[in-house]
Amino acid sequence: QKEVEQNSGPLSVPEGAIASLNCTYSDRGSQSFFWYRQYSGKSPELIMSIYSNGDKEDGRFTAQLNKASQYVSLLIRDSQPSDSATYLCAVRPGSGAGSYQLTFGKGTKLSVIP
Amino acid sequence: DTAVSQTPKYLVTQMGNDKSIKCEQNLGHDTMYWYKQDSKKFLKIMFSYNNKELIINETVPNRFSPKSPDKAHLNLHINSLELGDSAVYFCASSLQANSGNTIYFGEGSWLTVV
């Protein structure tokens, strides 16, 4: 059973601080990693994707991947109240029938306090 | 210009009824999905179709039957609805079934069984 684990939170950070969201996965063969943001009552929307070890930056967001440790994280710099949402980590295996689907973690609820 | 659209957005129905949720994507994607998000916000794959062919069928009661008349449409029919079927159902699509293609979600259909 392929699993994706996240701390459900809530994670509370003050406005302007760095929010750090973490995710671990069980399938060592996983190749594609995604972070989705989901506001309450809305659908998930893609924030970042990462495929190689290291860091990937996009504006205030940085995704970090460490395949050896089976760990992927999302950093949000200068956190804003509008960043308050649930962040879903998703992992796609590299091959086989399972590569056709994303496995999602249960999400971490982030609350940015003004 | 909604990329992935699903109807209805809200559905309240009685136990034992049969209902359908329709989904259409105008992105030209080959692959479509149905995900279920329960009350604890856990997002789980139900089905995936690639070019009208079923490629993923997770452990879902056979009361749930997907139908894909063409690659732009994937409808979900549910027979004999039960209280436990109450959830948000998300339709999604991606360019291709495998590799790192991003999955785009519809706005969700909130199903309440009473």
Greatest CA separation for chain A: 46
Which amino acid, residue A99?
A: S
Pairwise CA distance, residues A58 & B47, whole Å: 32
Percent of chain B at pLDDT exceeding 70? 95
* A-contacting residues in B 43-102 (Cβ below 8 Å): 43-45, 48, 50, 55-56, 90, 97-100, 102
Q: CA of A73 to nearest chain B CA: how many angstroms apart?
A: 18
Identify the weakest region by mean pLDDT among A91-95, B31-35, B108-112. Answer: A91-95
ω into A114 cis (within 30 of 0): no
What is the predicted pLDDT for the residue at A47? Answer: 94
Q: Which residue in chain A has the smallest CA separation from B31?
A: A100
Q: For residue range A3-12, list pLDDT tens digits in order.
A: 899 988 899 9
Question: What mean pLDDT comes out for the span B41-50?
Answer: 88
Count of pairs with CB atoms under 8 A, one residue in A, one in B: 56
The answer to whether residue A50 scores a pLDDT higher than 60 is yes
DSSP A42-106: S--EEEEEE-SSEEEEETTEEEEEETTTTEEEEEESS--GGG-EEEEEEEEESSSGGGGSPEE--
| Residue with the larger pLDDT of the pair A13 and A103 | A13
Pairwise CA distance, residues B105 & B89, whole Å: 10
For residues B31-50, b (16+ Cβ closer than 10 Å) or e, as one string?
bbbbbbbeeebebebbbbbb
Q: For residue range B24-43, list pLDDT tens digits in order.
A: 999 999 999 999 998 888 89
What is the predicted pLDDT for the residue at B1? Answer: 62
Q: CA of A64 to nearest chain B CA: how many angstroms apart?
A: 16
Contact A47, A74 (CB under 8 A): yes
Question: What mean pLDDT comes out for the span A23-29?
Answer: 91
What is the predicted pLDDT for the residue at A103? Answer: 87
Pairwise CA distance, residues B49 & A2, whole Å: 21
Task: State the average pLDDT for chain B.
Answer: 90
The answer to whether the Cβ–Cβ distance between B107 and A88 falls below 8 Å is no
